[in-house]
Structure 1
């Protein structure tokens, strides 16, 4: 009897295991904004991944965006949340700067594009992905601007891996 009581007391004192939301890189209560004034046609071209959250677990990738009859299409291989993700298909958009991309855990929101469309900061309201795509040289000033945009949108930039 005493053993049963001791076991019950021990069980009552044990704390419930903590659950960790894997792949959440931004504060859930932080506001997030997509780029509402961008020219989506300027996304067409070849992009290299230069940074990602969880990026230490896989190699950087890239994306090829093309214009099709129904809008933009994409073919990509990216390191996202430590997992290599690949896919292809239409980039459906219901509003400027926000896309549904085949095979993704959430929507892609373009948080920022520099004035010449050489650097894109991509995030998601659910915080499960965040990465930076670039074309050509990637100077420190654009990296700083991209990090600032991510931080402004609630991302923990200490967890960003720059390749």
Structure 2
């Protein structure tokens, strides 16, 4: 009789609906969705200037021009100030970061003003074959960005990046577009 009760209980548990993850408005993605980095992306693939085409959270603002440079096995992210100068309150967005590669397509770093312990992380979630568009995010789901080598165009690549982000559980409604 005891095995029958255990089997019946297990059957009832299997029919129970899974509880939804707790609502956390600071998260940009469903933490139960799959998440991975693109393993063939190197620092050299990111090297150069990029326009932040869509973003939310963290240190990359939509419309911002940034430069990734490779120096002594580190990836240096340097925002490029606009030609018309900085507005009050813009300074936090114009601090450079140094990143170390911590895994395939994964970087950890900190501001060059305070380079003690890594406090900023990003993973390359997708990069197109020609290295013109890249989708970045972090495992905690606190930021996401789509960068492109140009300020306009590439609609098909931006759409592909958004499809990948959707699959990874990101709330695309929160992405600010340029």
- Does the pair score TM above 0.5? yes
The 1:40/1:144 distance shift into structure 2, 3 A limit, reads: same
1:159 to 2:162 alignment:
no
Residues in 1 aligned to 2:57 and 2:47: alpha-carbon distance in whole angstroms: 26
1:110 to 2:124 alignment:
yes
Going by fraction, where is strand more abundant, 1 or 2?
1
Question: Residue in 1 aligned with 2:41?
Answer: 38
Q: TM-score, normalized by length of structure 1? A: 0.73
Question: Residue in 2 aligned with 1:125?
Answer: 139
Match of 1:139 among 154, 163, 171: 154
The 1:62/1:28 distance shift into structure 2, 3 A limit, reads: same
Q: Do the aligned residues in 1 keep the contact of 2:53 with 2:62 (CA within 8 Å)?
A: no
Question: Residue in 2 aligned with 1:95?
Answer: 103
Q: Which runs of 5+ in 1 are unaligned?
A: 1-18
Q: TM-score, normalized by length of structure 2? A: 0.68
The 1:91/1:162 distance shift into structure 2, 3 A limit, reads: same
Residues in 2 aligned to 1:108 and 1:102: alpha-carbon distance in whole angstroms: 11
1:66 to 2:81 alignment:
no
Q: 1:36-62: CA deviations, max 9, x gaps?
A: 11233121101110001369xx65313
Q: Which runs of 4+ in 1 moved over 6 A?
A: none
Q: Do the aligned residues in 2 keep the contact of 1:63 with 1:76 (CA within 8 Å)?
A: yes
Q: Do the aligned residues in 1 keep the contact of 2:110 with 2:120 (CA within 8 Å)?
A: no
Residues in 2 aligned to 1:42 and 1:70: alpha-carbon distance in whole angstroms: 13
Residues in 1 aligned to 2:153 and 2:42: alpha-carbon distance in whole angstroms: 21
RMSD between aligned alpha carbons? Answer: 2.8
Number of corresponding residues: 139
SS at match of 1:24: coil
